Structures are given as structure tokens and as C-alpha cells.
């Protein structure tokens, strides 16, 4: 559905996207995971024809982003980070105006508006002014607006930014539903690890404008070597016992704890505790944040809010 080859976006003192090559499949939820300023939004803006690349090529639904921008725009819907619905109009009125802008035929206009309102769970609030909507409802309205013309691809740029945890989970439900019912491809940019883990079929970790890892969330986490077991014990033979089990891949010490790398902690920890007298024991499974730290050397939220690529993009 999307083919990107050697895509570059440079500014005077900054390379925001650096030689990006990527394929995104039809009906896939693909996540671009990176800290602020990593190049996520700049990439989306180029694919949506809002920015011209410095070099390289990309096609969306078979159309070239530079030479066929109108065809690309017919093929996509987009939800930006900043809300853009008219507060003084109702949800229905917002959608009606955009149905005119999208040139929806009169014969299907009403039906399509009702369809997308139902899809995002706003049918009962369609006649209320948008200024009375919660943050999550506004996001869902903007998703509905992007779906009006039945796009093949939907770009969701930080779709749950600023939402509380309950609203974020509600939004995840609607994103899954629109992929299932509308049969579209979703490109999701986020720095919420749990969001990427829950929603995405594949994830591209982007750092300094480059894709530095690409795989399913499960495989990315598995690449760290499995679960981590921590045991605090005074037993002098604990290390010897632990090394005798073939499921222990690595053994280290950290802050008075024996730290073991294993494939399946839920299965392996009870086996260890039958042989080792422990004062305390626990385990953790790798997260995407662990993956990001391993790949980049920092936490995903350490970059300043509104990084270089996103700030410079609006001036191009």
C-alpha cells in the first residue's frame, strides 16, 4: 500500500528524515515509534503531500507523492496532533461541511455521515456543539471526518496525545474497529509504548530520521533475550544451582539481587524457588520501552517536546 525508497528531508542545519526505505502492507496497522523530534511527523507530512521531500520517492496506493499529489490525497485520511474541528458547529455540521469539501455525491452524503458517526460512537452526540465534547470525542470526530471519503490509508499522528488512560483505551477500540470494518491501512505515529504494543502489526523504531529496527512488537521484545527474574537470597550455593538449569541464559548481580535471563519466567521461577531459598523474588517481561532504550540508549520521552523535525516542518 505504501512504498518508500531513500526518502530524505533536509533543512539548513538538520536532516529530519534520513534515507528512509520502507514497505507498508494493505490492511496493516503500522506504528512509527520514536521520541519527539525523531522524524515521525515529518515522514507523515511527506507521505500526505504536505511536505516535499528533498530527495527519494514514495507511493501511496500506487500514486507518487510528488508527481500525483491529488491522487494521493484522494486515497488518504489524516488526523493531526492539533485538533482542527470547528468548536461552534455540531459534530454533524463539521462532517457535512467536509463531505462537501471531499465532493461526496449528494446521493450517499447523508448515509456516509451516519455511517462514520456510528463507527466512532458519536451518533447520539451528533447534534451537540463540538465545544461540549471531551478530548477523546473530538479525536473520534476527526477520525470520522478522515473516513468520510473511504480512504485506503489513514494517517493517525499521535491520535491519543493528551488523553487520559480511559479515553486512550476507548480510542484504541475505535482504531481497531475502523481497520476491521473499513478495511484500511493505518499508519500510526506515537511515543506511547503500550499504544504501539496493543495496536500495531509491525513497528518501525525511528531515531534521528532513520529506521533502526523493524518487526512485530512480540519479536522486538523477544530480541532482548526473554524475561528477567530477580532473586534475593543468602544461600551460598544459589548461583551454582541457577547455572545448573538450561533455561537460565544469563546470570548477573545487581543491587544485591541475582538477576537471571530466562525465556519464560512464569514457568521457570517456581522451578528455581523449589531449589533456592529466597528472601524475595520477582520477574519482569521486556517492554517496548526496554527495546527503545537498548536501541537508542535513552528513554523515549527524554527528547524535548516538539523536537526539531516537527518544529521545522511547519516552516517549509
Asked if pLDDT for residue 246 goes beyond 50, the answer is yes
Secondary structure of residue 11 in the 3-state scheme: strand
Cα–Cα nearest to 187, from 76, 81, 103: 76
Residue 58's H or E segment, with its range, is strand 55-60
- Residues 62, 37: contact at Cβ < 8 Å? no
Tell me the pTM. Answer: 0.79
Secondary structure of residue 60 in the 3-state scheme: strand
Extract the C-alpha cell encoding 206: 525511528
Q: Higher confidence at residue 103 or residue 69?
A: 69
Superfamily, domain 2-220+294-313: P-loop containing nucleotide triphosphate hydrolases (3.40.50.300)
Strand residue runs (E) in 233-305:
250-254, 257-262, 280-284
Residue with the three cell numbers 476491521: 180
Residue with the three cell numbers 523474588: 281
- For the beta carbon of residue 240, count every other beta carbon within 10 angstroms: 9
C-alpha to C-alpha distance for 186 and 96, rounded to whole angstroms: 24
C-alpha to C-alpha distance for 206 and 32, rounded to whole angstroms: 7
Q: What angle do CA 139, 37, 80 make, to 5 degrees?
A: 20
Mean pLDDT of the chain: 88
Q: What are the extents of the domains in the chain?
A: 2-220+294-313, 226-285
pLDDT at 271: 93
Summarised one tens digit per residue, pLDDT across range 267-298 is 999 999 999 999 999 998 888 888 888 888 76
Strand partners, 205: 33, 213
Residue with the three cell numbers 481497520: 179
Summarised one tens digit per residue, pLDDT across range 93-150 is 999 999 998 889 999 999 999 999 998 889 999 999 999 998 889 988 988 898 898 8
- Residues 35, 212: contact at Cβ < 8 Å? no
pLDDT at 72: 96
Summarised one tens digit per residue, pLDDT across range 34-49 is 888 889 989 999 999 9
C-alpha to C-alpha distance for 213 and 4, rounded to whole angstroms: 16
Extract the C-alpha cell encoding 96: 457535512
Residue with the three cell numbers 491522487: 71
- Comparing 2-220+294-313 with 226-285, is the CATH topology the same? no
CATH fold for the domain made of 226-285: Alpha-Beta Plaits (3.30.70)
C-alpha to C-alpha distance for 160 and 199, rounded to whole angstroms: 12
Amino acid at each position: 500500500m505504501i512504498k518508500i525508497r531513500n526518502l530524505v528531508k533536509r533543512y539548513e542545519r538538520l536532516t529530519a528524515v534520513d534515507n528512509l526505505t520502507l514497505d507498508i502492507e494493505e490492511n496493516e496497522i503500522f506504528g512509527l515509534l520514536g521520541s519527539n523530534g525523531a522524524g515521525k511527523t515529518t515522514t507523515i507530512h511527506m507521505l500526505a503531500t504536505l511536505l516535499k521531500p528533498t530527495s527519494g520517492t514514495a507511493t501511496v496506493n500506487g500514486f507518487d507523492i510528488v508527481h500525483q499529489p491529488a491522487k494521493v490525497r484522494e486515497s488518504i485520511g489524516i488526523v493531526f496532533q492539533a485538533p482542527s474541528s470547528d468548536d461552534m458547529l455540531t459534530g454533524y455540521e463539521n462532517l457535512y461541511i467536509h463531505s462537501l469539501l471531499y465532493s461526496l455525491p449528494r446521493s450517499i452524503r447523508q448515509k456516509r455521515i451516519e455511517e462514520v458517526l456510528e463507527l466512532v460512537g458519536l451518533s447520539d452526540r451528533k447534534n451537540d456543539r463540538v465545544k461540549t465534547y471531551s478530548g477523546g470525542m473530538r479525536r473520534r470526530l476527526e477520525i470520522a471526518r478522515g473516513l468520510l471519503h473511504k480512504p485506503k490509508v489513514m494517517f493517525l499522528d499521535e491520535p491519543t496525545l493528551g488523553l487520559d488512560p480511559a479515553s486512550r483505551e476507548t480510542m484504541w477500540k475505535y482504531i481497531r474497529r475502523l481497520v476491521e470494518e473499513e478495511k484500511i491501512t493505518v499508519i500510526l505515529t506515537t511515543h506511547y509504548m503500550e499504544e504501539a504494543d496493543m495496536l500495531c502489526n509491525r513497528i518501525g523504531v525511528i531515531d534521528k530520521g532513520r529506521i533502526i529496527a523493524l518487526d512485530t512488537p512480540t519479536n522486538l521484545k523477544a530480541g532482548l533475550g526473554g524475561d528477567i527474574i530477580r532473586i534475593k537470597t543468602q544461600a551460598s550455593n544459589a548461583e551454582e544451582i541457577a547455572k545448573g538449569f538450561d533455561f537460565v541464559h544469563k546470570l548477573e548481580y545487581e543491587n544485591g539481587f541475582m538477576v537471571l535471563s530466562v525465556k519464560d519466567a512464569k514457568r521457570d521461577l517456581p522451578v528455581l524457588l523449589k531449589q533456592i531459598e529466597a528472601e524475595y523474588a520477582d520477574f519482569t517481561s521486556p517492554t517496548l520501552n526496554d527495546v527503545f532504550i537498548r536501541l537508542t540508549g535513552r528513554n523515549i520521552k527524554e527528547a524535548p517536546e516538539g523536537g526539531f523535525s516537527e518544529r521545522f516542518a511547519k516552516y517549509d
